[in-house]
């Protein structure tokens, strides 16, 4: 596999206060990478920096070897799509209209959508299995349905890098598993980076994990190498028991009293 996203020595923050300091990792084509760490560790800030929504104080972010600062905002939007954690449905927009917003980077200011745009929107709707919802107002959807619409809009951008901030937050267990199984499928033609609170979900669905604490990298690699009892104690200040399924090889983390 080839490296699609390279984060090198990234440092950034808000109002002169650093939040992320010297973070380095890379994501290969076809990988699903999770960012984990305690509350306030900088997970969302790191994701926003990768999306180009924050100016870097130091370091570089490269897409297929090219520095992201060389791209215009429109060019970045053709390469990276970002699904925020708290995305509010806009009253008056149908599901189909919401997904069409993902085609904005490809449309000139006064142009209408073409056949290719219609085809891609239809494909995104089918991929997210929301085909029966096109005419529904987005405000009438359940949390799980709207999350699928938000991801469909991101897919309509045809990104090579899909970023998701807490994609399973506010969803019940059934919808969490549905969304993450879908993410595992969608990574086949791009790379994906998502933030997680739940270590067990992150370890189950991601090929690699980035563990951070106070904006600094604790570990990066395969879940079983990153989420060791020592690393978890270092990051979260809790003790865990690690259990491994002998058949599937999956590990499960149980907090100890």
Q: What is the mean pLDDT of residues 111-128?
A: 88
Q: Has residue 227 got a pLDDT over 80?
A: yes
The pLDDT value given to residue 110: 59
Cα separation, 98 vs 147, in Å, equals 12
Q: Has residue 82 got a pLDDT over 70?
A: yes
Helices and strands, counts by H and E, the chain: 9, 12
Q: pLDDT band at residue 109, thresholds of 50, 70 and 90?
A: low
N-to-C CA span, the chain: 42
Global model pTM greater than 0.75: yes
Alpha helices in 128-172 (DSSP H): 143-155
Q: pLDDT band at residue 53, thresholds of 50, 70 and 90?
A: very high
Other CB atoms within 10 A of residue 185 CB = 10
Pairing of the two strands 32-36 and 3-14: unpaired
The pLDDT value given to residue 26: 97
Q: Has residue 113 got a pLDDT over 70?
A: yes
Pairing of the two strands 32-36 and 208-213: parallel
Q: Has residue 244 got a pLDDT over 80?
A: no
Domains of the chain, with CATH numbers? 3-255 (3.40.50.300)
């Amino acid at each position: 596999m080839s490296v699609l996203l390279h984060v090198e020595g990234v440092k950034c923050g808000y109002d002169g206060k650093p939040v992320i300091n010297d973070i380095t990792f890379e994501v290969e084509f076809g990988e699903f990478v999770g960012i984990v760490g305690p509350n306030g560790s900088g997970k969302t800030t790191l994701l926003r920096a990768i999306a180009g929504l924050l100016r870097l104080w130091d370091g570089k972010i490269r897409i297929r070897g090219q520095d992201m600062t060389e791209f215009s905002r429109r060019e970045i939007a053709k390469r990276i799509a970002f699904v925020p954690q708290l995305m509010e449905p806009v009253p008056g927009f149908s599901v189909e209209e919401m997904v069409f917003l993902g085609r904005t980077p490809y449309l000139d200011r006064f142009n209408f959508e073409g056949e290719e745009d219609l085809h891609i929107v239809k494909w995104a709707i089918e991929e997210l299995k929301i085909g029966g919802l096109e005419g529904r107002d987005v405000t009438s959807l359940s949390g799980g349905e709207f999350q699928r619409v938000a991801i469909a809009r991101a897919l309509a951008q045809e990104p090579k890098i899909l970023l998701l901030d807490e994609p399973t937050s506010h969803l019940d267990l059934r919808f969490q598993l549905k969304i993450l199984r879908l993410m595992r499928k969608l990574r086949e033609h791009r790379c994906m980076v998502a933030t997680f609170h739940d270590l067990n979900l992150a370890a189950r669905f991601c090929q690699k994990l980035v563990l951070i604490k106070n904006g600094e990298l604790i570990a990066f690699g395969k879940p079983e190498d990153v989420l060791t009892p020592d690393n978890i104690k270092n990051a979260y200040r809790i003790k865990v028991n690690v259990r491994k399924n002998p058949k599937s090889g999956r590990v499960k983390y149980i907090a100890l009293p």
